[in-house]
Amino acid sequence: MIYNGETRTCGLIGNPVEHTLSPLLQNYLAEETGTNMVYVPFHVEKGRLEEAVKGAHALNLLGCNVTVPYKTDVVKYVTELDDMAARIGAVNTLVRNEHGFKGYNTDMLGLYRAMLNDGVDPEGRECVILGAGGVARAVAVLLLEKKASHVYILNRTLERAQAIAEEVNQMAGSEFVKAYTLKEYDKLPGDQKFLVIQATNVGMHPHIEEVVIEEEAFYERVEVGYDLIFNPGDTRFMQMTSRGGGKAYNGAKMLVYQGIIAFELWNGITISQKTAEVVNQLVAEALKK
């Protein structure tokens, strides 16, 4: 790629950002599609997020990704908000407009595209979410948007799960979400199997032997299990899902697709599935290092 006076810049706002794989992904997409764009990380110190967003616009940046710990705080500094991002209450992608940036949540759009790529459509499915943090809340909103049948949130403390259930049910206008403790997994209704999303950091490297629910009886009710962790690539949750007869996936494709969707939003183009598969392989190889 030849950079010149017309090269547009995108980047990653976060703290820390040194570990990110986003430059690998985004710069490959730019080169592959012949897009005159370069992507770099921006380490933004605590208390300087507003300055960073305004500065990015002043410097004519095409857009930015936003990572921890700023995905919620950055909502205050966008001039426009995508509907799903507004419902989730978190933004991970900024797209330039005349007066600032429009905020999107491509994390959840990426998870959805990863599911469809794996042949898993949440529409009409009975779903379980493990955990009750910000990611779990976002997943619940996604499943509502994509017309899942019901969602059951299992969490160590019932109160946090109930808080998400109440909030999402208000959006739904119905009892779409029910909350249980992890130990109450046996209260899941019926005898059908579930689409399960593991939305905690339990089992993440280096604590690879940990899992949210230990009992094998739970995994016998998992038809498809997504662990949003991607390091390690084969978590204990995934191993137990496979032993129980279910299909198991990690969060690497979600990582890839959220980045692809951001690239598409910035540049107004569509990335082919063939290119997406190459990027998936590049990221998978990078994660092994």
Q: What is the DSSP string of 21-69?
A: -HHHHHHHHHHHHT--EEEEEEE--TT-HHHHHHHHHHTT--EEEE-TT
pLDDT tens digit string along 208-243? Answer: 999 999 999 999 999 999 999 998 999 999 999 999
Specify the pTM: 0.95
Dist CA 49 CA 95 (whole Å): 16
Give every strand in the sheet of 126-130, ordered side by side: 177-181, 150-155, 126-130, 194-198, 222-227, 247-249
Does 1 have pLDDT greater than 90? no
Among candidate residues 71, 102, 146, 253, the one labeled active-site is 71
Specify the pLDDT at position 223.
98
Does 254 have pLDDT greater than 90? yes
Stated length of the chain: 289
Specify the pLDDT at position 287.
87
The DSSP symbol for 156 reads S
Which listed CATH number (3.40.50.10860, 3.40.50.970, 3.40.50.1970, 3.40.50.620) goes with 8-104+253-288? 3.40.50.10860
Specify the pLDDT at position 2.
86
Q: What is the mean pLDDT of residues 245-259?
A: 97
Architecture of the 109-250 domain: 3-Layer(aba) Sandwich (3.40)
Does residue 71 carry a catalytic annotation? yes
Q: What is the mean pLDDT of residues 47-59?
A: 98
pLDDT tens digit string along 84-105? Answer: 999 999 999 999 999 999 999 9
Q: What is the mean pLDDT of residues 182-200?
A: 96
Q: What percent of the chain has pLDDT over 90?
A: 96
What do you get for the CA distance between the two ends of the chain, in Å? 25
Specify the pLDDT at position 36.
97
Specify the pLDDT at position 89.
95
State the pLDDT confidence band at 40, using cuts at 50, 70 and 90.
Answer: very high
What is the 3-state composition of the chain as percent helix, strand, coil, each rounded to the nearest 5? 40, 20, 40
Q: What is the mean pLDDT of residues 29-57?
A: 98
Do the two domains 8-104+253-288 and 109-250 of this chain adopt the same fold? yes
- Nearest to residue 220, comparing CAs of 187, 245, 191, 188? 245
For the chain, the domains span: 8-104+253-288, 109-250
Question: Which structure tokens are listed for 193?
Answer: 């199997």
Q: What is the mean pLDDT of residues 234-261?
A: 97
Average pLDDT in the chain: 96
Q: What is the mean pLDDT of residues 113-141?
A: 97
Q: What percent of the chain has pLDDT over 70?
A: 100
Dist CA 144 CA 284 (whole Å): 30
Does 288 have pLDDT greater than 90? no
Q: What is the mean pLDDT of residues 8-18?
A: 97
